[in-house]
Amino acid sequence: MEENAISLCDLPIGSFGRVKDIAAKGSTRRRMRDLGLVDNTLVEVLRKSPSGDPVAYEIRGAVIALRFEEASKVFVKPC
């Protein structure tokens, strides 16, 4: 994993990050890849739900909601 990488759930609203690694295993990892979370993909944090979980992200032109548990396994380099 890259030195400056942080968890996707740690990015503030309105910021961007590039995917560097996914720490999930098995079907969770495959689902994240299917959603477009592959190396060097640009991700924008759009907004949080009223309860704070899940959070909406824009990934390759689509808006995807990820729960904290899932987003904490995706590591990005802030842009």
Q: Which CATH class is domain 6-78?
A: mainly beta
Supply the pTM of this predicted model. 0.87
Pairs from 53-61 (Cβ < 8 Å, separation ≥ 24) = 55/9, 57/8, 59/35, 60/36
pLDDT tens column, 32-53:
999 999 999 999 999 998 888 8
- 22 close to 38: Cβ distance less than 8 angstroms: no
Percent of the chain clearing pLDDT 70 (strictly above):
97
Which SS3 state, helix, strand or coil, does residue 25 take?
A: coil
Give 17-36 pLDDT, tens digit per residue: 999 999 989 999 999 999 99
- What 8-state DSSP symbol labels residue 40? T
First to last CA, the chain: 16
Q: What residue segments make up the domains of the chain, in order of their start?
A: 6-78
